[in-house]
Chains A and B, each alone.
Chain A
C-alpha cells in the first residue's frame, strides 16, 4: 500500500467523520419535519419519513410561524444592512489609515468582540428599558449591530486593503470625488468581501436566541428562534411542529450559502491570496 493512498484514506475518513458529526443532528430534524404523528413517536425510530406535510401545515396554522419568520427577516435584514454600511465606511477608513493606528484600532475592535453576551445583556436591557425600546425592532437591531460590527469591520478592512491604491488615484485623476471613488471603484471590487460579511451577519442575527428572548417579550415581535422555543406548552412538546418550523428557519440560510458559495470562499480567504 503506497503512502499517498494511506494519507488519502485517512483524509477522506476524517472528512466524512467531521461532516457526519455536523450533519446528522440536522438531518434528524429534517427527517422529523416530514414525518407523521405516529412515525415521530414510534419505537424503534423510523429513519426514513413519509414526506407528509402535516407538521408544516400545523406549524403554519396553529403556531403562526409566518409572523415569526417576518420578524426574523425584518430584524436580520436591517441588522445586516446597518452593519455592512457602517462596516464598509469604517473598514475603508481603517484600510487607508496609517498602519500603526489602524492596527491599534482593529485590536480594540477585536477586544470588544470578546465580551461574553451575558456580560453585556444586563446593561443592554437596562438601556433599552430606559429608552422605551424593549419589544421594538430597533431595540433588537441595535445590540445585533454592535455585536456583528467587529467581524464585518475585520473582513472588510482586509478586503479594502487588497485594492491597489493606484486604482483610487486613477479614479481621482479621472475626476471622481473621494466618495465617488469609494462607491464606483472600491465597493464594486469588494463584492466578495461584502457578501461574506453580509451573510455572516445575517446568519448571526437570524439564529440569535438569547438577546431576542430577553428583549422581545411580546409575542407579536418575537423572532423565529424564540418563537420555536416557546411552542412548548405546559404538558406538550410538539416535536413535529418544532422540526417543521426549524426546517423553515434553516432552509433559506442553506440555500443562500449554497448560491453564494463561490463568493464566500473567495471572501474568507482574502488577505491570504491576492484577489
Chain B
C-alpha cells in the first residue's frame, strides 16, 4: 500500500496536448476517481503512472519516492484494462498467476494466492477455463483478480465496467466498493460515467482536455461545482444554466435575465461587472400551481423516470427543467409556476464559480 503523488505532469502527442500540468495526491488507501469525457487524457495519465508511457514533464511519486525512471515492473502497480486484456492462450489460473510467476514467487505460494483471490471474487470454478469461454462479467472478475492477486502498491482501473451491460454494471460497482472496503488498497479509477464516480470515489478529480477542473469529495463536486464544465458534466438531467446580470435594489440583490428576475440571497458578494452565468439543479426548482408565486412557465416535455418526473419548461427564450413528484401530472402546454430556492443558485463568472 502506498500513496500516489502526481506533480506537474504534462504530455503531448505531436501537436495535441494530452495532459497539461496535472497535480494531485491520492492518500494511502483512498479510492480516487478520475472523471472526464472521453479523450480528456485520463487513460494517458494512467499509462504514465503505470510506466507504460513516459511523460514529457513532471514527476510521479509513489510513497513520496519519484518513480519516473522505474520500469512498470519496478513500480509494482496493477492495472485493470477496459478490454480486460486477458492472455487468450492461458487458463484463468495461469492468467492470475502470470504476474507472480514473473516476479519469481515460489510455486506453492502462487497456488495459494490464486485460490485466495479466486475465492474472494467467486471464480474458483472458472480456474481451468480459457478467457474465450467466459462471459463478459466473468472476464471482468478475472481481470480484477489478476490485479488483486499481486497485492500491489496501487490499483489502476481504466474504465473497468464500461464493457458490461447496464444491470451487471450496477452490481459490479457495488461489489467493487465492498471489495475496496475489504482490501483498502490505494486505487485510481478512470471513468467517464458520473454515477460511477459519485458512488465509488472518496475523492473525484474532474478532467477535461488534459486539464484538472476540480478535485473534491463527490458531494462537494455536486453541490459546489468549481466551474460551468463541472456543473454541466455532473448531474442528470443536466443543471439549468442561463445568462443574467446582478443588480442591487434597496439592499436586495436581483438577478436579471432576458426573461425573468430572481432574488439572490448571499452574504458575501464579490461579483464582477458584466454577464454572469447562473446554474440551478432541477431538484432545486419546485413546481407549484398557484399563479401568484414563482416564475410562470409553459410545460414543453415531461420525462417520467419512474421514481420521479422531470418537467421541461420554457420561459421566453430560456428553458428550465424542474423535478416533480411521480404522483403529479401535467398537461403539455399548461402554464405552471416554478419556485427556485435562492440559496441553491450557482453563480459563475467567466465560467468560474463565485
Contact = CB atoms under 8 A, between A and B. Distances in A.
Given A169-B52, A170-B79, A177 B88 contact: no
Binding site secondary structure of chain B: loop
A169 B79 contact: yes
Nearest to A170: B85
B47 A175 contact: no
B83 A174 contact: no
Contact of B98 (A166, A169, A174, A188): A174
Contact of A189 (B50, B83, B88, B98): B88
Contacts of A171: 87, 98
Max count, chain A CB within 10 A of own CB: residue among B78, B81, B85, B89: B85
Nearest to B102: A175
Contacts of A173: 50-52, 72, 77-79, 99
Nearest to B80: A170
A190 B73 CA distance: 24
A32 to B, nearest CB: 46
Contacts of B103: 175
Contact of B73 (A169, A175, A185, A189): A175
A167 interface: yes
A172 B87 contact: no
Contact of B83 (A164, A172, A176): A164
Interface in B83-125: 83, 85-89, 98-99, 102-103
B87 A170 contact: yes
A185 B89 CA distance: 8
B223 to A, nearest CB: 37
Binding site secondary structure of chain A: helix
Contacts of B77: 173
Nearest to B98: A174
Interface string A149-176: 0000000000000001011011111111
Contact of B102 (A167, A176, A188, A189): A176
A229 B82 CA distance: 60
Contacts of A175: 72-73, 99, 102-103
B208 interface: no
A64 interface: no
B146 interface: yes
Contacts of A180: 102
A172 B53 CA distance: 11
B47 A169 contact: yes
A174 to B, nearest CB: 4
Contact of B85 (A167, A176, A177, A188): A167
B85 A169 contact: yes
**Interface size grouping (class) on chain A:** 10 to 19
Interface residues of B, number: 24
Contacts of A185: 87
Nearest to A177: B73
B88 A169 contact: no
A176 B81 contact: no
Contacts of B52: 169, 172-173
A187 to B, nearest CB: 10
B102 A174 contact: yes
B81 A174 contact: no
B146 to A, nearest CB: 7
A188 B50 CA distance: 25
A121 B103 CA distance: 51
A188 B73 contact: no
Contact of B146 (A172, A174, A189): A174
A173 B87 CA distance: 13
B89 A188 contact: yes
Given A185-B87, A188-B89, A172 B72 contact: yes
Contacts of B98: 171, 174
Contacts of B88: 189
A25 B191 CA distance: 65
B291 to A, nearest CB: 60
A176 B52 CA distance: 12
Nearest to A178: B71
Interface string B34-72: 000000000000010011100000000000000000011
Nearest to B88: A189
Contacts of A188: 89
A186 B231 CA distance: 45
A176 B73 contact: yes
A133 to B, nearest CB: 40
10 contacts: A166-B81, A169-B52, A171-B87, A173-B51, A173-B79, A173-B99, A175-B72, A175-B73, A176-B73, A177-B71
What are the 5 A-B residue pairs with the smallest beta carbon separation, nearest first? A174-B99, A175-B102, A166-B85, A170-B85, A175-B73
Interface of A: 164, 166-167, 169-177, 180, 185, 188-189
Given A169-B47, A180-B102, A185-B87, 10 more contacts: A166-B82, A167-B85, A171-B87, A173-B77, A173-B78, A173-B99, A174-B98, A175-B72, A175-B102, A188-B89
